Amino acid sequence: MLEEALEHLVKGIVDNPDEVQVERRNLRRGSVLEVRVHPEDLGKVIGRNGRTARSLRTVVGALGGRGIRVDLVDVDEIR
């Protein structure tokens, strides 16, 4: 559920919503939600001084994702 909610929020922010991917990874230290977006949209998801990314983390925590990290993955694809 958290993955779908986070994906929905991120798709509303970016210019290329079809390229948004949210994947849950279970690590030894807990779960991580990895957000991958088009390289041109990374700045929008991070926001000024990281405010948008921090807000996304707050929303995930409020939805019951305490202890789950949200990471923005920088994917520099060479095309």
Q: Is the pLDDT of residue 42 over 50?
A: yes
Q: What is the pLDDT of residue 78?
A: 45
Burial annotation 25-48 (CB, 10 A radius, 16+ → b, else e): eeeeeeeebebbbbeebbeebbee
pLDDT tens string 16-33: 999 999 999 998 888 999
Task: List C-alpha distances in Å: 15 to 3, 26, 36, 39, 46.
Answer: 19, 29, 13, 11, 14
Model confidence at 77, pLDDT cuts 50, 70, 90, reads: low
- Is the pLDDT reported for residue 60 higher than 60? yes
Instruction: Please state, rounded to an integer, the average pLDDT across all residues of the chain.
Output: 90
Domains, the chain, with CATH or none:
1-73 (3.30.300.20)
Alpha helices (H) in 1-79, listed in sequence order: 2-11, 42-46, 51-62
